[in-house]
Amino acid sequence: MIEISPEITTLIMLGGILVGILSGYPLAIPIGALGLIIGYNLMGPAVLNLMYTRLFALITSYVLLAAPLFIFMGIMLERSGIAERLYDALYLWLGGLRGGLAVTTVLLGTILAACVGIIGASVTMLSLLALPAMVRRGYSKSLAAGSVCAGGTLGILIPPSIMLVIYGPMAFISVGKLFMAAFIPGFVLSGLYCSYIILRCLFQPKIAPSVPAEERKVSFIKKTTMLLTSMFPPALLILAVLGTIFFGVAPPTEAAAVGAFAATVLALVYRRLNLAVLKDTVSRTLRVTAMIMLIGGLSFAFVGVFLAAGCGKVIEELILAVPGGKWGAFAAIMFALFLLGFFIDWLGILFIMVPIVSPLVATLGFDELWFAMMICINLQMSFMTPPLAHAIFYLRGSAPTELGVTMGDIIRGVFPFVFLILIGLGLCIVFPQLILWLPGQMIK
């Protein structure tokens, strides 16, 4: 065993993660290897038991059973066809506005967020449905791309979000309360996005022309019927999943099972369910779940070594020493998360940072639920800030090539929405009840 000060160990372990990621290896490999090598040199063979215990505790967590169920639900809904029906209905109502198709895209992303909860599925669906409609009608490519990325990433915040399912066990917070706490902030971000689009198109009408009236020539009754019938399935699903949690009927894991079953029934009703769809859904669910468990298990084991080596105390002292009291410390944590979002996947950030900073919440005097949501809102930006920006790459990979949407168009389009997330963070700081009110109404 080697004697190394906690300060040096902290630099080695955190710096090693960054070097490992920049070298191109998947996050799970450098983080697991670092934990094992550093831990063995500090503790000897005892580190094997420490890492195994933490890894086993995570992957056998009952609450995390909700993750594969929600993933299955989201992928099955992606195949059910409800997104197409919703877009067609919203298109008729809002297409006449300047920027109406971009607003429709964000609203559809908001509705899908409450049903799907998977960024890849939401962004891909919007890029295939909404992006061609906007670009072919003369929309600015950057505005169209930004709307798709912003609307699609709401799925990681608005329940049933996989991020919240994972966050709960990490910080020992009720996932049900996290779900309820995320609703209003998610809708606030959606409202900010729509307001920005409308105001920008008001001053720059050429970037988002309205859809010609002849394309929207449908009777009021038919438009209303289309909207109601297309809204009914997602509303039913949201009630089945989140209603059971809010009213205390079932915890998130059982509610996730209800959602997975309801999504399968919807696909069956819309005649989209067959053996090939079921096989593909199960296969994709297994792949995504395996990735989450591998990164999560090894990250959780790494954090165990990190804390056992005294590095957690180093981070705590560093944060508490920041000028400005508790708000200075809060700003330092938020800024660190923002910077990490440029280089590390949100899963890695959660599994590494949450166990380290969560114990500081009580010391700083913040409400743990409010603090958790501030982290989750902050991580929205990580999906739109290059070089590691998943929403940008999902859109780039799924956008039809004939549209000519470049990476530059996408990056220019997402920057205003990143700034709007910062405004959303500010609103939740000034008005904490945006986060705390709805969880307080839950039936125990």
Residue 215: pLDDT band with limits 50, 70, 90: low
Cα radius of gyration rounded to whole Å, the chain: 22
Q: Are 413 and 146 in contact (CB under 8 A)?
A: yes
pLDDT of 430 strictly over 70: yes
pLDDT band at 1, cuts 50/70/90? low
pLDDT band at 400 (very low <50, low <70, confident <90, very high): confident
Q: Please indicate, yes or no, whether the overall pTM of this predicted structure exceeds 0.95.
A: no
The CA distance from 319 to 353, in Å, is 13
Helical (H) or strand (E) element with 416: helix 407-430
Start-end of H helices in 136-251: 141-153, 162-171, 175-203, 220-238, 244-246
Mean pLDDT of 256-265: 87
